[in-house]
Every structure is written in C-alpha cells, then in structure tokens.
Amino acid sequence: MCGIAGWLSFEEDVREKRDALEAMSAALANRGPDDQGIYITPAAGLVHRRLAVVDIAGGRQPMREGDCTIVYNGELYNTKELRRELAGLGWSFRGHSDTEVLLKAFIQWGEDCLDRLSGIYAFAVWDEKRRMLFVARDRVGVKPFFFYEDGRRLIFGSVIPALIAAAPWCEGLAPRLDEEGRRELFLLGPGRRPGSGVLKGYRELEPGCCLWYGAEGLSVRRYWDLKAQPHTDGRQEAISHVRSLLEDAVRRQLVSDVPLCTMLSGGLDSSILSALAGAEYRKRGETLHTWSVEYADSSRYFHAGRFVPSEDAPFAAEMAERIGSEHHIVTLDNAELADVLPLATAERGLPSMADVDSSLLLFCRAIREKFTVGLSGECADELFGGYPWYHREEILFEECFPWSRSTAVREQLLSPAAVGTDGEDWLREVYRAAVARTDLLPGEDARAARMRQMFRLNFDWFMQTLLARKDTMSMACGLEMRVPFADERIVEYAYNLPWELKNLDGREKGILRAAFEDMLTPGVAWRKKSPYPKTFHPAYFRRVLELYRQRLERPGGALPQLVDIDALKVLEADPTGLKEPWYGQLMRTPQVFAWLVMLDAWMERFHVELA
C-alpha cells in the first residue's frame, strides 16, 4: 500500500511545480515510509510514496513501460492469473510485483483491464504519447482518491491533506468551507455524500469509477455498480457459497513478502477471518499472530447496553486459543486516547469518528511495531445486515439515514451559522437521492425492496465512512489493512441474497454464523453483535472536556461561532441528556465533545476558511 499524488496541466509547465509535488509527497510520507519517487514532464507530474509489501526490490514507482507511467496504491488479489494471461500474449516481466502486472494489463487492454481486476486499488497512468491520464478506483472503495479540477489543471492525491499541501501553488486549493461544505460537515459528518471532498472544489472519485483527463478536459465513467439479479440458491447452497467465497478471499489476501497478522476482537467477523487465516497458516506449519485492543480499567467502568452487550476480551481469548494463534493485547491509555484526536484529524483531513478513530490510530501504531500487513473484519455488517437498523421495525422504513435519523441533535448543539435554517429539508433530499440509486428487480415486495435500499445506503454511506477510517488510521502508521469481506464477489452475492437467508433463523448475520459455526467457539458463533469497542472510563471524558474548553478559548478559533455554548454547558452537566447518537451507535456525549475538539483542531491545522 502506498500514497499517490499528481499534477496535470496543458496550460502551464508542470516542471515548475516540483516544489508542490515535493510538498504533496511529504504529506503522504506516513503512507509510504519505505521509498519515494517523482516523475515529471512538461504536462504531468506523478508522485509515489511506497510501503513495500510485495516484490520489495522490483516494485519501485513511478514505474514506466514504453510511453506509460503508473503510480498505484493497492493490492491485486488475482495477480498470478493476470500475469499468466499476459505472458500468454507475449509479455515478459522483470519482477513479481502487481504494479508491473497492472501497468502491462492497462497497456494491453486499456480501460477494459478494469473488468479483469480483483483487488483494492487507486491508480493513475500517464500516457505520454496520447497526452492523457487514466485513473481508476476499486469497485468497493477500499482505497481513496481525491482530486481537484478547474479547467486548467487536474491535481490529485490519496488523501485530502495531500491536496491541501499543494494549496500555496494553486489558489483554488486553499481549504474553504462554503455553504454546501458546512452542510456536509455539520449535517452529515462524519459521513459524506459519494464524490464529496467537503472542502470547496475538492472531489472524490467514487468507488467503481474511472476517469480520463486530457487537453479536452475531464471525463468520468462508472465501470461497476450494484445490480439486482434473481437469487436461485437454496439454503444449503447459499451457506456453502458464502463460505467458499470468503475462504477464497482470505486465501488470496494472505499473500505478502512481509509479516502479516489479523485483528481479532472476539466478534463474529474478525473471528471468522482469523480462523480462516489460522487454518491456512497451520497448513504452512506457521503460527498466526492476532491482535485485540482494550482500554485501561475497561472492565471496571464497562456499561452493557443495547448496542454494546458484552466486553470483547473473553471472546478474543476464546478464539485465540481455538485458533492456536499468538495473541497480543494492546491496552490504551484513556487520556492519550483524547490527546491524539488532533493527530487523527490531521491524518484523515476531516473531523471524523472521535475516539473510534484515535483508538484505531493507537492500535495500528502498536501493531506496526511488529507487522506491516493485517486483515480486518470491516464490511460484514453492511453486507449481511448486522446493524440494529436492519432489524428494528420502528427504524427500518423511516425516510432517513438510520445512523443519523434527524438534525435535532445537531441543531440543538450547533449554531445556525453551522447548520443553516433548512437542514431537515436538505437532508431529506440528499436521502431520497441516495435511495434512488438502488437497482431493484421487477415486482419485488416492499420488504425485499427496502432491504436492497438499506444495502445501497449502507454500502454508499456508512461503509465508506468506516473504510476511510480504516485506511487513513492504518496507513498513518505505515500499516496495510486488508478487508476480505469487501471482495467484490462477496458484495455482489450479498446484494442479491434474500433477507430470510442473510437473517437465517432470525439471527443477525445468520448465514455467516451457519457457514462458519464449525470453526468458531459456541460463544463467539452465537454472540450478539458488539461494535468496535469504546471506552467508558470517566478519565477519557474529563480529558476531552479539558481539551474542548481549551479549544473554545483559543484566540481566533471558530468554535464560538459554530456551537451553542449554553446548550453544550447543559450537556456537560448532564451527559445523559443526548437522547440520540450524533452518528452511528457509539457517538454519544463524550464523542460529541471529542468531535468538536477534532473540528477546531482541523480548522487550525489546515487554516480552513469559513467562506
């Protein structure tokens, strides 16, 4: 995994933008600590920062073949098959990197190569002869790609901070939060509309999309999307197929020339991945290393509830023993969890999911001391219906984003300068546009159609938020995290899997439980869903409040004009007064104040203007 960036223009000499390209490279340094490279011509500058995982010696970038030069961030999981097919067409190879295979696949098939790729990727190829840039992003959106285009130039980067780094050389990149950006940030955040970069002029290439950029301008095309297809498998066939798909996805994603481990929380999803990886390692005569995270004194202050029914530690220990893994437990300090909120924001380039982000950053930092690659269980809940909003009838058919059901909480705590006056109407229109993207089968009943809509919403919105979190927090530590549930074959099958099979025997993710029950302990196989762990320790909330108050008093800070200070004082005094989460299931009162700390730290760090 890596970081990429670039500057393309047919009206200015890009060779004069070397300082900008160097600044963008520096902004990506954490994503690629092992190597760096820059390729510059009069019309194109490409930047690469490398985290070396496969073909350490032969995979340097930017990589050139004839007239074409590539910068690439990702992993192809069908490299061997593509290499064999290309070799049959006469291609020879210098090394065994997937970068070389990808570049030659593009030269051979052009953009049709995308139909053959299986993996996670964001890449750009500059064709010097045609004077065209081609860019593509993977189908599910695991690897990020942001860009800015103003009619004179195209500037791109793996993450928002890479674009901001180029702002001194391009006035349009100065980070500004206009009216639309404020709506995105304050009414949807930490979610974003597909394609939005929140800041004025910033865009994200959507999952499953590619673009061409040349002298005639910019052209974007969607090459993959969720399509409704009739499901013909019976119960046992579906169980077997889900198992075989995930077994193959894990097997493919264990390929690495550097140490690899798994995250193991003791929840269903991470336990399945760890059990599959552990079985593969045993075949090799090797021992899998697994990792879990907890907080200092967590048991003392843990509160069981609807969304967090039980602690993870006992279940992680059960599974580690079952797998025979060497298990590592990372215990996080609660005050430090608050102190790194600004760092998490700086890496993400936007205010995000509060301590869910900062804890992941610290967790990944600890793993990176011994490992370079890991597997994680993201996406199973979105694809197989694990979240409460799939199951609660009072929420299921509401016309709203189920993880952020209204603007009431935000309007209560933020000022009109932040949320505006028509927030509910705007949010409803955004929601309706999101639902309208759903592909349905003719004649589907209301519940089947609604479950497809929920899949679409979760895939385009909630899942993208979590994938962005996992990518930015792990890559900030130079750690590559792979997500086998995001294999496009699993996504396509799950989209067309009837609800009665997903929810087999009336249990959330019932089909996953049935498919892998034999590999899990009974406690884990039938454990009620529990999300990524958060701390309940009062020391965390105390430290967050200290940081919030400091930020509120910062000279020139924007918080006083963006929040309702009196309403927040009431919430400080009665933290139970927040009746609905700010976002998702876990962003309660401590996380609201943590998000405000992130907000101010973000505006200070990047000099964000309220346009």
Bridge partners, 177 (sequence order): 610
| Model pLDDT, residue 371 | 95
**What's the pTM value of the predicted model, to 2 decimals?**
0.96
Q: Which of 241, 208, 508, 260 is nearest to 386 (CA)?
A: 508
| Tokens of residue 478, six digits | 């130079």
Predicted pLDDT at 50: 86
pLDDT computed for residue 393 by the predictor: 87
The pLDDT, as a whole number, for residue 8 is: 98
Copy the structure tokens of residue 14: 């890009």
At 280 the three-state DSSP class reads helix
3-state secondary structure of 588: coil
Distance separating alpha carbons of residues 431 and 425, to the nearest angstrom = 10
Query: What stretch of H or E contains 161?
Result: helix 160-165
What is the pLDDT at residue 135? Answer: 98
φ, ψ dihedrals at 50, nearest 5°: -110, 130
> Using CA atoms, how far apart are residues 276 and 360, in angstroms rounded to an integer?
23
**Catalytically annotated residues:** 2
Helices (H), 61-133: 79-88, 98-109
- CA distances (Å), 558 to each of 552, 596, 598, 604, in order? 8, 11, 12, 9
Give the number of other Cβ atoms within 10 Å of residue 236's Cβ.
9
Angle between helices 79-88 and 98-109 (to 10 degrees): 50
pLDDT in tens, 552-608: 999 999 999 999 999 999 999 999 989 888 998 789 999 999 999 999 999 999 999
- pLDDT at residue number 534: 78
The single-letter code of the amino acid at 18 is R
Residues in the chain: 611
Whole-number pLDDT of residue 114: 98
**Maximal CA-CA distance, the chain:** 72
Please list the ranges in the chain whose pLDDT falls under 50.
Answer: none
- Written as one letter, the residue type at 431 is Y
Provide the token pair at 294: 């907890």
List domains and CATH numbers for the chain: 2-222 (3.60.20.10), 235-525 (3.40.50.620), 538-610 (no CATH)
